[in-house]
């Protein structure tokens, strides 16, 4: 594979909002990739700090950086769609403005991609400002039946630009769950996804950014998801989605509610974990840490 063939060009889209102190590190992690046929599309989503000046300085120094700007904040999904439409890469992938790529991430994706998969994703590393924890995914092939149960992917994928355009990208009518909803449609349309267990993405959990999964919009996103895809979801799968909503929002469920949702092993394991996390957070956090360290 010729790394400088235009058909192998990768566009990395980065939406950013008021992250003047972090976005440069994110961009540099892309510039430092071992695979070089890359363009970077950064969307300044209505920042009111010095973000624009930081981005312009980067664009002046590196010719493969393109800057777009929303006059007012329109949100990450809107900004991602804007970037994807504007990019020239055959492949596209995303990065959040406070996260990082590890050096071989794009190269691994290029080597692993085949048309039998709708998209690729990876395991990841969490950095809380002090310690790093590697999170591996037990499943490496995510089928449509799998994605109907929960989001096994996370929030970043690698796929063809043409597929994202054909599906009109992220659904901007959603209040939350936009990532999951798009992965759902991609797998439904183009087949299973593949996860590479190389932990090539670092998620920054140290920042105090609002997490949409725990915000008041999360419940609305769940309702929109089930309503939009109700014909593809069985009654059991709709129950799984209700559990996902409760788990994402860290709702403190009672023992009776927990028992009600124990319809099978899959549902029981998740709702029982939520019960234990919500009632015994310190103990469960310690157990999870011990298990992670053991792995």
Residues 174, 221: Cα–Cα separation, whole Å: 6
Q: Please check the confidence at residue 156 and state whether its pLDDT lies above 70.
A: yes
Helix axes 235-248, 265-279, angle to 10 degrees: 20
Query: Residues near 188 by Cβ (< 8 Å), separated by ≥ 6?
Result: 144, 232
Model pLDDT, residue 212 = 44
Q: Please check the confidence at residue 266 and state whether its pLDDT lies above 50.
A: yes
Average pLDDT along the chain = 92
Of 69-73, 105-109, 133-137, 221-225, least confident by mean pLDDT is 133-137
Model pLDDT, residue 3 = 47
Average pLDDT for residues 136-146, to the nearest whole number? Answer: 90
Model pLDDT, residue 207 = 65
Q: 122 by DSSP, 3-state: which?
A: strand
| CB 13 within 8 Å of CB 80 | yes
175-189 burial: b if 16+ Cβ within 10 Å, else e: bbbbbbbbbbbbbee
Of 6-10, 50-54, 207-211, 281-285, least confident by mean pLDDT is 207-211
**Every domain of the chain and the residues it spans:** 6-204, 214-294
Average pLDDT for residues 267-276, to the nearest whole number? Answer: 93
Spatial CA neighbour of 150 closest among 216, 260, 263, 246: 246
Average pLDDT for residues 249-278, to the nearest whole number? Answer: 93
Kindly indicate whether the domain formed by 6-204 is annotated with CATH number 3.90.550.10.
Answer: yes
Average pLDDT for residues 244-268, to the nearest whole number? Answer: 94
- Look up tokens 């798009």; give the residue: 182
Quote the percentage of the chain above a pLDDT of 90. Answer: 82
180-210 tens-digit pLDDT: 999 999 999 999 999 999 999 999 988 655 4
pTM of this structure: 0.91
Model pLDDT, residue 211 = 47
Of 77-81, 102-106, 272-276, least confident by mean pLDDT is 272-276
Model pLDDT, residue 101 = 98
């Amino acid at each position: 594979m010729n790394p400088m063939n235009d058909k192998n060009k990768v566009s990395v889209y980065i939406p950013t909002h008021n992250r003047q102190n972090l976005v440069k590190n994110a961009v540099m992690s892309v510039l430092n990739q071992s695979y070089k046929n890359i363009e970077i599309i950064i969307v300044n989503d209505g920042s009111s700090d010095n973000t624009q000046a930081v981005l312009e300085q980067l664009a002046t120094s590196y010719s493969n950086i393109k800057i777009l700007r929303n006059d007012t904040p329109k949100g990450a999904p809107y900004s991602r769609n804007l970037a994807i439409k504007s990019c020239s890469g055959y492949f596209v992938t995303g990065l959040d403005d406070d996260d990082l790529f590890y050096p071989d991430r794009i190269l691994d994706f290029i080597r692993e991609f085949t048309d039998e998969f709708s998209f690729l994703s990876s395991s990841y590393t969490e950095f809380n400002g002090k310690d790093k924890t590697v999170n591996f995914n037990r499943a490496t092939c995510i089928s449509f039946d799998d994605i109907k149960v929960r989001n096994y992917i996370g929030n970043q994928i690698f796929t063809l630009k043409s597929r994202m355009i054909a599906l009109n990208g992220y659904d901007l009518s959603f209040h939350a769950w936009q990532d999951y909803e798009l992965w759902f449609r991609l797998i439904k349309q183009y087949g299973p996804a593949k996860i590479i267990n190389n932990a090539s993405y670092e998620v920054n959990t140290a920042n105090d950014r609002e997490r949409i999964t725990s915000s008041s919009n999360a419940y609305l996103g769940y309702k929109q998801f089930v309503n939009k895809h109700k014909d593809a979801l069985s009654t059991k799968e709709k129950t799984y989605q209700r559990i996902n909503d409760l788990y994402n929002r860290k709702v403190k469920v009672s023992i009776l509610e927990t028992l009600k949702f124990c319809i099978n092993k899959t549902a029981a394991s998740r709702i029982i974990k939520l019960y234990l996390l919500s009632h015994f957070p310190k103990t469960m956090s310690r157990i999870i840490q011990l298990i992670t360290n053991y792995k």
